[in-house]
Chains A and B, each alone.
Chain A
Amino acid sequence: MGALLEVEDLTVWLATRGGPRKAVDGLSFQVDAGEIFGIAGESGSGKTMTALALLGLLPHAAKTAGRAVFEGRDLLAMPARELRAVRGRKIAMVSQDPSTSLHPMLSIETQLTEHMRHHLGLGKSEARGRAVELLATVRIPDPEQALRAHPAQFSGGMRQRIAIAVALACEPRLLLADEPTTALDVTVQAGILRLLHRLRRERDLAVIVITHDLGVMSAVADRICVMYGGRTAEVGPREDVLTRPRHPYTRGLLDALPHPEGGAATLQPIPGSPPALGAVPEGCPFHPRCGFAVPDCRAVRPEPVLVASGHLAACPPDPLGGAA
């Protein structure tokens, strides 16, 4: 079966005062229908820019190269008018903060039905009926009443459910969720993660979850791509990446997490900090912070290579290979 989305060698340059700077550098991955694909990384790793590139929503004067083939057509080469027909219709996005992604002054009904009427040509009452169903799907109590309300009348978790309902309105094939639970409490987060998991199963929806939280990844993602300095450090099945990581950066991220059983008094941070835009080191972008770096790491840019079934890592010395 062909992938729903196939990203090949995606590169994004952002315009800065000092000239164009690479924010994403030769990223490749694919996402199948009904799959939850996780993109993990710290801020500045290029994960959000990847999502924005797919939607044609990059900041002004940004440039892209490579391909992002969705249902047989390259999103990056598509004329703006055609991309508008895909965006919100076939590909939808949920962002981090539901208090900014929903319009504070518009009723939930307006926000839920607007693009159904635009994209699907539905009449007012038909769109309203669908809106009630959608709110029920995301488990908003009393959907009829909710349609008349405004975002401020809901809690953060309920607002994020509504934002997901808005994203689902035109029955997209792919949902981009950028830190969908970062602004929420863990108890509320649990509900949103279960919702994403259920939607994928019921609707065969593909979801790209972007988060720095490896716990969230572990809960919902089928496959995980770990990004560093705009590139893939490692990509593979969830369990492989989280229990048998092959890139020292992934190992470092896991070691920096509080141990699930508590106990050890200190956390193990990765020394140094992630590179700033335009200041990504030559060779392997992680080498200045890597405890396993060899001289080659400074000079040769590593490409992701297959290290296990479906598992690629961009670390030629493969110091963690023996641990598998």
Chain B
Amino acid sequence: MSALLEATGVAVEYHRRGAPALRAVDRADLTVARGEILGLVGESGCGKSTLGRAVVGLLPTAAGEIRFDGRPVVPLGLRRRAPGMRGLQMVFQDPYASLNPRRLVGDQVGDGYLLGGAARAEALRRAGELLERVGLPADAARRYPHEFSGGQRQRIAIARTLAAEPSCIVADEPISALDASAQASVANLLVELVRELDMGMVFISHDLSVVRQIADRTAVMYLGRVVEVGPTRQVWSAPAHPYTQALISAVPRADGAGVLPVELPGDVPDPARPPGGCRFHPRCPVARPECSRDDPPLVALRDGRSAACVLQTAGEAARPLAEPRPVAAE
């Protein structure tokens, strides 16, 4: 099976006046197949949003290759997007910022159809259908964004994305700005759409527990690199990379047990000056001397996973890391 969206060795740089270019994403690989949800997680500043924008062509790449449906993704310029690229769409985090407050919802959703050559009446009618599809009343088309709650606005933004009849969606923190109960229902909607329309989806989130729930595969990023990727169940039950382990241990559980989450000491280093060797080694609880020297590549492990850690690739320890120790108090 060939991948629907495939990024290989992607690097993205931000150029700043009077400073060296900042490489926010470096040698990142990811693939998404039809009908598959790839969760992309990591701390803020790890480059997950940058990578998400690059794979849809919103940011130019400094190196590497991105292919969608067999064709190279070229960065969005001032001119109209290449027709083959309409199937690759993005959902943004903030539905308060991504919708135009002064245009009717139906017009905004219908834009995709207008660009596809439909007449306005036809575009409006089909926009109404899409709004119903995402769980909104059909008369939503004749209202303005401010009349809707955050969760409803995100549904509108999703409907607008669907108007382009995408086969792949990159959703950047699509539920983070929403209330708890709206989060669950919007996440469910996205899962349903992926299954029903046989789309691929990259679901970017800092909320690890949601990704664990809905993603088929999970990719973990740290400081511009993908450090681990694999089937969600394996990644979570037996993380291969110490950073994945640290992230999982930091998630507090609502089980009433009063267990404090495990702290990962230190801050994410400045991406303009990444540490030499393995980028995680200064914070890694199991780092060895060679970790400050060798930069480990992402290597396939035997269970369908890949990880970038010498502990795994040395062959000596292709096994899950130890369970986190329960810690009573600081």
A265–B260 Cα distance when bound, in Å, is 27
Q: A218-B257, A257-B209 are in contact. Are A42 and B180 (CB under 8 A)?
A: yes
Are A241 and B187 in contact, CB atoms less than 8 angstroms apart? Answer: no
Contact A242 B254 (CB under 8 A): yes
Option from A186, A220, A239, A254 in Cβ contact (under 8 Å) with B251: A186
Q: Which residues of A contact B151 (CB under 8 A)?
A: 273
Determine the chain A residues whose CB is within 8 A of the CB of B236 once the complex forms.
262
With CB as the reference atom, state the residue of chain B lying closest to A186.
B250
Residues of chain A within 8 A of B31, CB atoms compared: none
CA distance A151 to B221 in the complex (A): 27
Tell me whether A227 is interfacial, beta carbon within 8 Å. no
B149 adjacent to A239 (CB under 8 Å): no
The proximity string for B residues 84-116 relative to A, scoring 1 for CB distances below 8 Å and 0 otherwise, is 000000000000000000000000000000000
Contact, CB under 8 Å: B191 / A265: yes
Whether the pair A262, B232 counts as a contact (CB closer than 8 A) is: yes
- The minimal Cβ–Cβ distance linking B271 to chain A, given in whole angstroms, is 12
If A241-B256, A254-B254 touch, whether A265 touches B214 (CB-CB below 8 Å) is: yes
Given contacts A258-B209, A265-B214, contact A238 B182 (CB under 8 A): no
Known: A189-B250, A215-B252. A252 touches B181 (CB 8 A): yes
**Binary interface encoding of chain A residues 239-272 relative to chain B, with 1 for a CB under 8 A from any of its CBs, else 0:** 1111100000000111011111010111111100
Q: Per-position contact with B for A215-245: 1 when CB-CB < 8 Å, else 0?
A: 1111110000000000000000011111100
Query: Does A125 reach chain B (CB closer than 8 Å)?
Result: no
Is the C-beta of A185 less than 8 angstroms from some C-beta in chain B?
A: yes
Check A190–B264 contact: CB distance below 8 A.
yes
- A46 within 8 Å of B (CB atoms): no
> B245: shortest Cβ distance to chain A, in Å?
11
Given A267-B213, A269-B181, A193 contacting B252 (CB threshold 8 A)? yes
**Inside 8 A of A259's CB, which chain B residues have their CB?**
213
Q: A191-B263, A215-B252, A239-B258 are in contact. Are A201 and B329 (CB under 8 A)?
A: yes
CA distance A220 to B256 in the complex (A): 10
- How far apart sit A188 and B43, CA to CA, in the bound complex (Å)? 9
Stretch of A11-19, A74-82, A153-161 lying at the B interface: A153-161
A198 at the interface (CB under 8 A from B): yes
Q: Shortest distance in angstroms between A219's beta carbon and chain B's nearest beta carbon?
A: 4
Contact status A219-B179, CB under 8 Å: no
**A273 x B181 contact (CB < 8 A):** yes
Select the residue from A185, A214, A217 with max chain B CB neighbours within 10 A.
A185
Chain A residues with CB below 8 A from B9, complex form: none
A84 within 8 A of B: no
Neighbouring A residues of B256 by C-beta, 8 Å: 218, 238-243
A219 and B252 in contact, given A194-B263, A265-B191 (Cβ under 8 angstroms): yes
Within 8 Å by CB of A262, from B149, B213, B247, lies B213
What is the CB-to-nearest-CB distance from B260 to chain A, in angstroms, rounded to a whole number? Answer: 5
**Chain B residue at smallest Cβ distance from A267:** B184
Tell me if A173 counts as interface (CB < 8 A to partner B).
no
**Other-chain contact of A193, B188, B232, B261, B267 (Cβ < 8 Å):** B261
Alpha-carbon distance between A187 and B250 when the two chains are bound, in angstroms: 5
User: Is the CB–CB distance between A42 and B257 below 8 Å?
Assistant: no
Say if the beta carbon of A212 comes within 8 Å of chain B.
yes
Interface 1/0 per residue, A178-216 and B, CB below 8 Å = 000000011111110111011001000000000011111
Any chain A CB within 8 A of the CB of B196?
no
- By a CB distance below 8 angstroms, the chain A residues around B149 are 273
CA A239 to CA B259, docked complex, whole Å: 11
Give the complex CA separation of A269 and B250 in angstroms: 24
The answer to whether B329 touches A198 (Cβ under 8 A) is yes
Complex contacts, B250 vs chain A, CB 8 Å: 186-187, 189-190
Report the Cα distance A201→B252, complex, angstroms: 20
> Within the complex, what minimum Cβ distance (angstroms) separates A324 from chain B?
14
Closest A-chain residue to B270, C-beta based?
Answer: A155
B120 within 8 Å of A by Cβ? no
Please indicate which of the listed interface residues A195, A216, A265 has the most CB atoms of chain B within 10 Å of its own CB.
Answer: A265
| Chain B hits for A30, CB < 8 A | none
The 7 tightest CB contacts between A and B, nearest first, are A242-B256, A267-B184, A215-B252, A269-B185, A214-B254, A269-B184, A258-B213
Q: A190-B260, A265-B191 are in contact. List 15 more A-B contacts (CB 8 A).
A: A186-B251, A187-B246, A189-B250, A189-B252, A215-B209, A219-B252, A240-B256, A243-B256, A256-B184, A257-B209, A267-B183, A267-B187, A267-B210, A270-B181, A273-B151
Chain A interface residues (CB < 8 Å from chain B)? 42-43, 155-158, 185-191, 193-195, 197-198, 201, 212-220, 238-243, 252-254, 256-260, 262, 264-270, 273-274
Provide 23 A-B residue pairs closer than 8 Å at the C-beta atoms, listed in order of the A residue: A42-B180, A186-B261, A188-B43, A190-B263, A194-B260, A197-B329, A201-B329, A212-B180, A219-B258, A238-B256, A239-B256, A240-B256, A252-B181, A253-B180, A258-B213, A259-B213, A260-B253, A262-B233, A265-B191, A269-B184, A270-B184, A273-B151, A274-B181
* Chain B interfacial positions (CB closer than 8 Å to A): 43-44, 149, 151, 179-185, 187-188, 191, 206, 208-210, 212-214, 232-233, 236, 246-247, 249-265, 267-268, 329-330
